[in-house]
Structure 1
């Protein structure tokens, strides 16, 4: 046994006790930030109270100090109580965590059940070499746990101890399971030997992150939170420019302006707004993905990134449910794409863009980088060569002919009856735009299958490609409405541990064949989905 391994075991042994332990006082910083973040996250719901309180304080300036003190005292009290009631202990291959002030929570996780260990190091922990450790299982979200303040070296040692215990348990189960192939058992048996031999698969430069920020803009979420304050913000902007002798309100009056002046103002305003949105989005991408690395150690993929808060996410290859290639319309112009490794979801719901806990995202890669990642995960995939089958044109009939058109003609008749020509033209423009978008959606839908994988293509202006092994399918659904049944069509759905993927408007025969083939493959292969 080398010195490094002996040191790791000594660190673990030091904390192996039946006595409950409190975390370091540095953890109070974590609880403070958590409370503040919770307030910020509910700003939309708190906006009416904040606005009323703000107006009351402006009307009575002498009360702002007592109000501020009450808020600070409430935050500090909540921080101390959260810290005081947070305890954990390690004993006999288990980790137990107690937390909660009013709603008590007690989590007991055996090391062998922990599927994933994630380390998160906020900016305020770095000078003190502390980190947060999140533990999750393949069960419900209630089984997830987080130790919010551990020494970094101890967290790293504990992480290896947990993964080694889980690996040993997996090997023992595989020895008893005759359905597992020899190749799978051999791959898992070599994992522990290669834990310290990481292979770097991908890194992202600052220019890549800038492109990702420009092509994956989520600024509308920020604007939604600011909606209650738009009036105050607008007034502040007007007052700011008036200090420099610029009257914004007069510039925006178009009655006395020529057409070229109006166009120039509109173009300038659009450019300024888009510049602000782009800068905000680029900053978000840099904060999230700065110093991004994707490594592989044995059968585990390890993603590290973050400017202010460093994140480390580990994913076992056996937990990987599907790979996704995403391209928005701007990604397609720049010939870039985002790659997602979707793993087992704790809550069983479909993934969302902001839910990064159950996925590894590699932002803004080029075509050859995407191919290298896809081939490393699924060596036999045909994502770039397979031909996709389209869906039925009845998709257009149902969405345009039965839904959009009747509403449009009703609205159009109403406007024409009341001689509202301008509104009628506007309704027509909207109708045509919706028809174009639905047609684009129809053209994007596609599916394919080979002996190992199911491929699904969908999108609207952009395009997304999904690839998952057939043996990962846990459940299938055959859906047929009155309209679909009348035209001998169906919608089928494949349910995986990471969520569901559906193929709409395909023939009954094709739908039944796809479902039967998937179920036969799952049953005959007898391979585990995790």
Structure 2
């Protein structure tokens, strides 16, 4: 009987059986409990390991469910802590009821109250993605990296399997313009469809809830994600708009916390609070979540626009020289090409300048950068760890400088994130001093607020304890009667 079974199929069955046996043994030898506000995990098939994670160190709690886990009614629970490169603790094969209980247990610990299994959730729906918003999200999701990847993949297939596919590479080379143009269009459409499908799968049935000082989200179709975004661990808020979304009045919202590892950011993007909505709704949601009034931003120095114009004009000169050297054009056409390039350079300089800005609020700093993908960052002062006033060699030539606030868990640089670039040098120094003063004041207010919350939490815990004692005394008195 065994001789009639192909060897590779037999090996496949053995591997599958071994995988099932290993997972069963892992599940059998895995257990956990929360004792004295510490999560204890004991695992290991051949060697036992014990890990303790204090709940006070936990920043985020996320849940993942693939298709098989959904069918079996189980899930994977992940506990994220600040400062780690990977997830601190992972609970696999947890029932859906226990997942909800553990998440509520963590939330009750953060709020300083006891929780009962039958206690219902008091979540308030803040946002639910609508079909038209899902369609806009899919249609406006484009990635240049995906286009390049698909383009390279097609080239690889054509040149590797040209004989098997009966493709005449020489004939394609003769019509290089037509072939190259068609290949670019095909890669563009393929990347667009790929990203649209990926967004649909990731953000299907997206819902955002608020419960106390915690946000909860649920999303996904084949692989479901749900988790928490603790607002007391908030590092910064990002209003994100790509060019297509901005043209039709839509944008998204990210909330960045210190708990997510770099690996999880790449895999899930779990910090996304609103994937897409009308841009007019975003200030209302930010005010509801964090109490921030989003206002108009100040423009950076006008000299920066001149600097950008010089930079892009030099690029236009280089392109014009290359065109003149390599392509034979009539004087009229060459003049037209040069005119278009210089008009484009000046337009690009203006667009780069107009989409940059900054604003100093009572408890927050706002910055904005980017044209193709415009990001408006809102960072609380008490989360800022360092203020850098930076001026490069070229910036000093124009008497310009940049302000870079550094926060925990966020990589910042002059090229990107929370940065106010190309301010007047004197304005930058004044802004740096002002932000530092606001930082000191905000830290005092933050500590006082946390101390007040701690006292209120102790009072609430004492009241719950007194109520339990009174309830027990009442029950005892009733039994005696």
| Pair 488,219 (structure 1): closer, same or farther in 2 beyond 3 Å | closer
Alignment partner, residue 295 of structure 1: 209
Q: Secondary structure at the match of 1:213?
A: helix
1:437 and 1:460 in contact (8 A); partners too? no
Of 370-379 and 304-313, the range deviating more from structure 2:
370-379
Quote how far apart the aligned CAs of 1:311 are: 0.8
Alignment partner, residue 269 of structure 2: 356
What is the CA–CA distance in structure 2 between the aligned matches of 1:205 and 1:237, rounded to whole Å?
A: 46
Alignment partner, residue 307 of structure 1: 221
Deviations 1:91-127 (A, max 9, x none): 5232244678999986420123222211111111011
1:119 and 1:312 in contact (8 A); partners too? yes
2:250 and 2:276 in contact (8 A); partners too? yes
What is the CA–CA distance in structure 2 between the aligned matches of 1:524 and 1:350, rounded to whole Å?
A: 35
2:43 and 2:49 in contact (8 A); partners too? yes
Quote how far apart the aligned CAs of 1:141 are: 3.0
2:150 and 2:191 in contact (8 A); partners too? no
Deviations 1:404-441 (A, max 9, x none): 6667656766775xx52359979968787566545422
Alignment partner, residue 299 of structure 2: 389
Deviations 1:249-295 (A, max 9, x none): 9997987xxxxxx99x9998877665544333222121011111111
| Pair 331,248 (structure 1): closer, same or farther in 2 beyond 3 Å | farther
Alignment partner, residue 97 of structure 2: 153
What is the CA–CA distance in structure 2 between the aligned matches of 1:142 and 1:323, rounded to whole Å?
A: 23
Q: Secondary structure at the match of 2:395?
A: helix
1:161-172 alignment, distance < 5 Å? 161-168=105-112
Quote how far apart the aligned CAs of 1:466 are: 2.0
**Structure 2 counterpart of 1:518, from 423, 435, 440:** 435
1:175-190 alignment, distance < 5 Å? none
TM, length-normalised to structure 1 = 0.66
Consecutive unaligned residues in structure 2, runs of 5 or more: 1-5, 413-417, 451-481
Would you say 1:420 and 2:326 are equivalent positions? yes
Of 131-140 and 227-236, the range deviating more from structure 2:
227-236
| Pair 279,221 (structure 1): closer, same or farther in 2 beyond 3 Å | closer
Q: Secondary structure at the match of 1:475?
A: strand
| Pair 144,355 (structure 1): closer, same or farther in 2 beyond 3 Å | same
1:219 and 1:281 in contact (8 A); partners too? no
Alignment partner, residue 473 of structure 2: none
Of 80-89 and 510-519, the range deviating more from structure 2:
80-89
What is the CA–CA distance in structure 2 between the aligned matches of 1:73 and 1:394, rounded to whole Å?
A: 67
2:32 and 2:42 in contact (8 A); partners too? no
| Pair 225,80 (structure 1): closer, same or farther in 2 beyond 3 Å | farther
Q: Secondary structure at the match of 2:281?
A: helix
Quote how far apart the aligned CAs of 1:202 are: 0.9
| Pair 163,396 (structure 1): closer, same or farther in 2 beyond 3 Å | same
Alignment: residue pair count: 427
What is the CA–CA distance in structure 1 between the aligned matches of 2:405 and 2:16, rounded to whole Å?
A: 46
2:356 and 2:370 in contact (8 A); partners too? yes
Of 195-204 and 83-92, the range deviating more from structure 2:
83-92
Q: Secondary structure at the match of 1:441?
A: helix
**Structure 2 counterpart of 1:319, from 214, 233, 248:** 233
What is the CA–CA distance in structure 2 between the aligned matches of 1:334 and 1:220, rounded to whole Å?
A: 24
What is the CA–CA distance in structure 1 between the aligned matches of 2:41 and 2:89, rounded to whole Å?
A: 7
Q: What is the root-mean-square deviation in Å for CA atoms of aligned residues? A: 4.7
Would you say 1:286 and 2:200 are equivalent positions? yes
TM, length-normalised to structure 2 = 0.72
| Pair 437,304 (structure 1): closer, same or farther in 2 beyond 3 Å | same
What is the CA–CA distance in structure 2 between the aligned matches of 1:370 and 1:195, rounded to whole Å?
A: 29
| Pair 394,368 (structure 1): closer, same or farther in 2 beyond 3 Å | closer
What is the CA–CA distance in structure 2 between the aligned matches of 1:477 and 1:68, rounded to whole Å?
A: 62
Quote how far apart the aligned CAs of 1:377 are: 1.9
1:399-414 alignment, distance < 5 Å? 401=310
1:291 and 1:306 in contact (8 A); partners too? yes
| Pair 353,463 (structure 1): closer, same or farther in 2 beyond 3 Å | farther
Consecutive unaligned residues in structure 1, runs of 5 or more: 1-64, 172-188, 256-261
Would you say 1:457 and 2:371 are equivalent positions? no
1:219 and 1:280 in contact (8 A); partners too? no
What is the CA–CA distance in structure 2 between the aligned matches of 1:437 and 1:73, rounded to whole Å?
A: 62
2:305 and 2:350 in contact (8 A); partners too? no
| Pair 460,70 (structure 1): closer, same or farther in 2 beyond 3 Å | farther
Quote how far apart the aligned CAs of 1:72 are: 8.4
1:458 and 1:465 in contact (8 A); partners too? yes
Q: Secondary structure at the match of 2:419?
A: strand
Of 310-319 and 467-476, the range deviating more from structure 2:
467-476
**Structure 2 counterpart of 1:203, from 106, 128, 136:** 128
What is the CA–CA distance in structure 2 between the aligned matches of 1:392 and 1:382, rounded to whole Å?
A: 24
1:13-412 alignment, distance < 5 Å? 87-90=30-33, 92=35, 93-97=37-41, 107-142=51-86, 144-168=88-112, 196-218=121-143, 220-221=145-146, 224=149, 227-228=152-153, 230-232=155-157, 275-346=189-260, 356-357=269-270, 359-383=271-295, 386-394=296-304, 396-397=306-307, 401=310
What is the CA–CA distance in structure 1 between the aligned matches of 2:422 and 2:275, rounded to whole Å?
A: 32
1:502-513 alignment, distance < 5 Å? 502-513=419-430
Alignment partner, residue 388 of structure 2: 477
